[in-house]
Structure 1
Amino acid sequence: MHPMNLLASLVALGLSAPALALSDADVASALKKRLEGDRTGACFAVAVVEADGVSRAYGCAKAGGEPRIGPDSAFEIGSVSKTMASALLAREILAGGASLDDPLSDWLPKGTRVPEFEGQPIQLRHVVTHTSGLPALPPGVAITDPNDPYSGMNPKMLHAALGRVQLTRAPGSAFEYSNFAMMLLSDALARRTGKDFDALLDERLFTPLGMAHAYVNDKPDDVTAAQGHAPNTQPVPAWTFKPDLAGVGGVRATLDDMVAYVQGQLGAAPQDLMPALDLAQQPVWTSGQPTMAMNWIVAPLNGRPVHVHEGGTGGFSSLVAFDREAARGVVVLSDTALHSLGGLGSLGLHLLDPAVPPGQPRIATPAPPELIDALVGDYLLQGVMKMSVRRKGEALEIQAQGQPAFEMGHDSAGDFYPLAFDALLKPVKQPDGRQSFVWVQGGGAMPAERIDANGATP
């Protein structure tokens, strides 16, 4: 899962006057503007939820051919699952079995070493706002399958990993996205309630909301598990989770499942569930950016709070956003991992308010010959890894030290990208007029510095 790409857009934008209701045709038109011809080949399932109805559209970057997604397609929703775990925690709080002030240690097996900072413990409020100070992933836990990175993790590994963490700041003092912390909470909810986490989701959230086709590992017979894709159009394996860790990102759902979820968030949930959804929407951490409810980013747009969360796995992207006061919500699901390309935020904001541009497709285009020539040379990435950039015919080729060479494509956003895997080479003009670049891969951005034949900087 990946941190939310939408945050910068939410902070920067202010919505205009309340938008008019959208028809299916309006949603399809917006989807076409954002997606048609996109080099990723992605397909989207999109819905706009309003008080008087729901508008839906399905579309793919490549027009024609057999549609690969539809109403029965279940998508990996990634980190949007965290908001569902928070709803379950909110139910426990309202039932008197929990408090956001509970130390995390109280929810873990006896004897588990949980780090503190100068006597200040990690509390549940810090876990659900990503301010615990715990790292993104458990230290010392090997990823045995990079194509399914969470499949080998289990609760015992996570509890042991806590003993290897030293907090560098007080819990609650800064935002740092932590899948590690949310896996711990997911397992803790299962332990506290005595139910498997996937069963807990089904009983206390999916069934009350009418999310009949949402699941973790046990796919309903009338559902098709959508095939996920990397941004280079290639199919990738599904991500899997131990059931009790699924609150970090293990839910699959159809578009209509997520429509029902948003309708519940907007006030249509059953009476015994609505108070928990309301509680999970209340701001918890307000002393920095972003303002966080229980795993919802809360951003003021047009003077109204908008709740949002994006999700991403190895082959999928998702976004859920809603404006409670305007009674409008948005769901965007994609069968392609787009987090490295900016995610789904632009389209999601556009569907909340059509005055916001929907974003543009990344069209594969020839690179300017002069740009290719200007980039040719040897570089050091973040002072560590050597990479050579060469011309290959009318294209660019890169080769990191000790690795094969890879041909690069070029798109209408001005970026180069490997044809064989997910990364970006973003050209940057230096103050002296020479070209360099930033290498973006795996959620990190590494600036490149030119070096001469001896490995020294000019």
Structure 2
Amino acid sequence: MPTALSRRRSTRHAARLAALALLLGVTQAPLAQTQAASQLADDAALARTVAQRVTGDRSGACLAVAVVRAETVKTAHVCADPTQVSRITGRKAFEIGSVSKTMTAALLATELEAGRLTLDTPLAALLPADTVVPQFQDKPIRLQDVVTHRSGLPALPSRMPHANPFDPYATLDTQALLGSLADVKLTAAPGTEFLYSNFASMVLSWGLAHHTKQAFPQLLQERLLTPLNMADTFVGAPPPGVTSVAGHESTSQSAMPWNFADDMAGVGGVRSTLDDMVRYVRGQLGDGPPELTAALTRTQQPLTTTAPPMGMNWMIAQVGAHTVQAHEGATGGFSSFVGLDRQQGVGVVILSDTSWVNLGGVSPLGLHLLAPDAVALDKPRRVVDTPAEMLESLPGSYVMDGGLIVTIVRQGKQLAIQAANQPAFVLGYDDAGDFYPLGFDARLDPESTNGRQGFVWHQGGAALAVRRVDTPQ
């Protein structure tokens, strides 16, 4: 049309432009309204899917969710109790937990792209010269071993203080972190055995800060957040206008925020909003500055030949016909998920103000949104009455792995659990067939082996087998 108009006389040209402007004024509004209506429909469809999973769930959880593609972003804010949705809308920041590790991997990848480090660089090269770092038969722990969780380092540092189990990392300092390395005796060569290690990830986070001579929050800001316009993502205090969401346990009780020393925050100390995490996923899908895109793409490439397959702090899984890179996060009061399907050009973000660690996490929902043809949508866990047969069969004495004796007793139409020298806790029951203490975050999964009643106790990410030691009445 502009080419045709350019051949008109000037007076007719002006008249046509005026008419065109008038026409656009008439037609663009309906077009914009149509696009807005389409976006609302897409968002509503996503909200319905999330609501099918969470409405009425006993956790009381709220979820902020996004499905990200090159041309579209669908978002939804959904709560188990729909009246609570305001607690997660707006510029609200969530603890993203171990999803922070993918950001730490991105920072490492910028050093790899610049040629200042390689994946074969020993972890010790990032630390002070007098740090004692374990080896196995002269084989050092490499950076690749750390970002694939094959370093051989245990889950947590041996010298980690246990001052507050509700904010477990807050008092861990550099001396205890690096000193704990000297306490480790590796039992296998680094790179050979998978063992998920927050300890190793904290050392890498601290080591990158030491290596670059920048505090971790500043390094994160300069290398990742600013290039991706993630102005509402932070370590420590929130920026102006951003409010930190209050976290909850899966019993709906309030949870303390988790705090980390700045240079160890790469293990799980980043907080972010849904909008910023959408920007992060866009960056992971290739929408960012070329240098950063190269680094982010590098983190997603497979590095291991043994299970589980991993990139740099990305878990890699074949989900039906989909190859997915994903990472889940959890703190005392939050859960998160970021998943990517690069071939389909889609990513998913889930941020929850509730810890789902004892409920199987939010990754099943995330994988369903990424691959609905391969992963079914779970149902909410709703509170129901304890079945009569459970009231009869479960009471008795049990022993946990490690020797702790626990007793289950009947209290009217409910059961209660009590460990030796501890108070009794009433157990609720949900329609997934699990019990849960009303006073703290855990789950009891009944099971029977060879006709003998037992259960699995889920707490803090651990699953302990519990066997009966008395004779049922």
Q: TM-score range by the shorter chain?
A: over 0.9
CA root-mean-square deviation = 1.6
Superposed, 1:36-435 pairs within 5 Å as 36-65=55-84, 67-286=86-305, 288-355=306-373, 356-382=375-401, 384-432=403-451, 434-435=452-453
| Corresponding pairs, count | 433
Query: Percent same amino acid among aligned pairs?
Result: 50
Partner AA of 2:187 in structure 1:
T
Cα drift, residue 446 of structure 1 = 1.9
Separation in 2, partners of 1:77, 1:66 = 19
Cα drift, residue 143 of structure 1 = 2.0
CA deviation vs aligned residue, 1:192-250 (integer Å, no higher than 9, x gap): 11111001111110110111100001311111100000111011110011110010000
Separation in 2, partners of 1:169, 1:308 = 27
SS of structure 2 residue aligned to 1:339:
coil
Separation in 1, partners of 2:104, 2:466 = 40
SS of structure 1 residue aligned to 2:291:
coil
Cα drift, residue 353 of structure 1 = 2.5
Separation in 2, partners of 1:383, 1:182 = 28
CA deviation vs aligned residue, 1:177-198 (integer Å, no higher than 9, x gap): 0000010010111111111100
Structure 1 stretches of at least 4 aligned residues deviating more than 6 Å after TM superposition:
none
Q: Give the corresponding residue for 1:14.
A: none
Conserved 8 A contact 1:312-1:318:
yes
The 1:438–1:301 alpha-carbon spacing in structure 2 relative to 1, beyond 3 Å, is closer
Q: Does structure 1 residue 452 correspond to structure 2 residue 462?
A: no
Separation in 2, partners of 1:353, 1:452 = 46
Partner AA of 1:188 in structure 2:
G
Separation in 2, partners of 1:450, 1:379 = 4
Partner AA of 2:313 in structure 1:
N
Q: TM-score, normalised by structure 2?
A: 0.89
SS of structure 2 residue aligned to 1:32:
helix
Superposed, 1:13-28 pairs within 5 Å as 23-28=42-47
Partner AA of 1:26 in structure 2:
A
Separation in 1, partners of 2:202, 2:268 = 9
Separation in 2, partners of 1:66, 1:442 = 26
Conserved 8 A contact 2:322-2:371:
no
Cα drift, residue 436 of structure 1 = 1.9
Conserved 8 A contact 1:71-1:256:
no
Q: Give the corresponding residue for 2:29.
A: none
Partner AA of 2:167 in structure 1:
D
SS of structure 1 residue aligned to 2:324:
strand
Structure 2: gaps (5+ residues): 1-38
More helix by share: 2
Structure of higher CA gyration radius = 2
